């Protein structure tokens, strides 16, 4: 029953991922998503008039968002609070609050100047700005009354919120084992027993093996949600019998992201950092190029996500060289804090899934389109650095 608040600027809305994410959020009617647009008309190069003339309000209205122009109230806390409360009352779609602000204010030198965008104020600028504000020229100065008000209010509010949450939690009477596994994005005790074991000599694509592993884990890994960027059936991320996440059923475990790889990866990282969800998202390996920023962000933030990259081959049929991954495995392996597993067969794929669930961070699974002969029992995945077979 909580809300997600986003603070975004002009540059954020120029980036392509904002279009993907805003489109998906509008389609899903995410009424608990509120974005405050810090519309200060400034980028590093200068005024946004150099590069930007979008009708941002019209664009978001077209996506199905509720849009409100707040005007020049950036310094008026009560007015901002009322605007946020109005947005929270809109429950059938996400909200965009357009806030006209002035970067660098109230500096006599840098108000509405692009130099304030990426550079800290110098000592003289700080002194001159404090003089305009009428406050002492002292480091980290704040009025005693304000400090005391924050401390007393925050402590009391936090204690009350915690008590209310505890009451709701106790009333829910949740199974503790399920709660623990869900919140940790882990498996229930003994969940691995349900995983498939493949016979030596059997021929199966590893993208098919991961789908079997996912579906065998639906009860044992209650936090698992899976989907793909318009390639659910192609990437092994189809969950049998699961409800799709739609505006009427947002708790569905099957997520259809559409052709939005960048937004998919970003949403996965966001869900993982929230907690209680283990997102698995699939696309063709070659499209790593387009969603690399969220892969890198997952590694930087330690987000527990599972990236499923399939069609790891130059033999991808009529799609040709635009769909042939060549440099991509080296790219993944160069990212620190990203667990990269390229299983040799179906048993190693299952073991890779076990490793992903056990790992406290992001995992990238690199899987085949073609059938591969089962030649291992999967045990080598735990140690890594597998042996290349000359004649399997």
205 forms beta bridges with 371
- The 10 Å Cβ neighbour count of residue 198 is 20
Helix axes 261-274, 288-301, angle to 10 degrees: 20
Q: Could you list the active site residues?
A: 261
> HEC states along 289-346?
HHHHHHHHHHHHHCCCCEEEEECCCCCCHHHHHHHCCCCHHHHHHCCCCCEEECCCCH
Q: How far apart are CA 244 and CA 251, in angstroms?
A: 8
Q: How far apart are CA 13 and CA 33, in angstroms?
A: 16
- Pairing mode of beta strands 42-43, 46-47: antiparallel
Token couple for 339: 């667990």
- The 10 Å Cβ neighbour count of residue 103 is 19
By three-state DSSP, how is residue 215 classified? helix
Token couple for 318: 């009529």
CA torsion sign for 224, 227, 233, 235 is negative
Q: Compute, in degrees rounded to 10, the torsion defined by CA atoms 295, 192, 213, 216.
A: -130
Q: How far apart are CA 363 and CA 210, in angstroms?
A: 13
- Pairing mode of beta strands 224-228, 278-284: parallel
Question: How far is the first Cα of the chain from the last one, in angstroms, to the nearest whole number?
Answer: 54
Residue the block writes with tokens 């495995």 = 329
């Amino acid at each position: 029953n909580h809300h997600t608040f986003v603070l975004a600027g002009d540059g954020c809305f120029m980036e392509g991922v904002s279009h993907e994410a805003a489109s998906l959020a509008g389609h899903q009617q995410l009424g608990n998503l509120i974005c405050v647009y810090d519309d200060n008309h400034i980028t590093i190069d200068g005024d946004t008039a150099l590069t930007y003339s979008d009708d941002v309000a019209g664009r978001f209205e077209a996506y199905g968002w509720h849009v409100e122009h707040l005007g020049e109230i950036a310094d008026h806390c009560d007015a901002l609070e009322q605007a946020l409360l109005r947005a929270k009352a809109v429950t059938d779609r996400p909200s965009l609050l357009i806030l006209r602000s002035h970067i660098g204010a109230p500096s006599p030198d840098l108000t509405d100047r692009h130099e304030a965008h990426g550079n800290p104020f110098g000592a003289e600028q700080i002194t001159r700005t404090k003089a305009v504000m009428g406050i002492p020229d002292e480091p980290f100065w704040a009025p005693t009354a304000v400090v005391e008000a924050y401390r007393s209010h925050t402590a009391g509010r936090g204690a009350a919120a915690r008590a209310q949450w505890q009451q709701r939690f106790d009333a829910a009477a949740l199974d503790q084992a399920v709660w623990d596994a869900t919140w940790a994005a882990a498996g229930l005790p003994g969940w691995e027993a349900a995983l498939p074991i493949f016979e030596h000599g059997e021929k199966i694509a590893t993208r098919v093996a991961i789908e079997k592993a996912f579906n065998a884990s639906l009860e044992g890994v209650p936090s698992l949600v899976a989907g793909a960027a318009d390639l659910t059936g192609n990437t092994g991320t189809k969950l049998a019998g699961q409800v799709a996440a739609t505006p009427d059923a947002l708790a569905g475990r099957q997520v259809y992201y559409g052709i939005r790889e960048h937004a998919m990866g970003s949403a996965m990282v966001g869900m993982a950092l929230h907690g209680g969800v283990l997102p698995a998202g699939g696309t063709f390996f070659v499209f790593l190029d387009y969603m690399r920023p969220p892969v890198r962000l997952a590694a930087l933030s330690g987000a527990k996500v599972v990236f499923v990259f399939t069609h790891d081959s130059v033999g991808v049929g009529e799609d040709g060289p635009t769909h042939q991954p060549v440099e991509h495995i080296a790219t993944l392996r160069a990212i620190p804090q990203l667990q990269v597993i390229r299983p040799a067969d179906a048993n190693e794929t299952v073991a890779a899934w076990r490793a992903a669930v056990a790992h406290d961070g992001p995992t990238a699974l690199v899987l085949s389109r073609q059938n591969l002969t089962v030649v291992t029992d999967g045990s080598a995945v735990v140690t890594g650095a597998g042996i290349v077979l000359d004649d399997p």
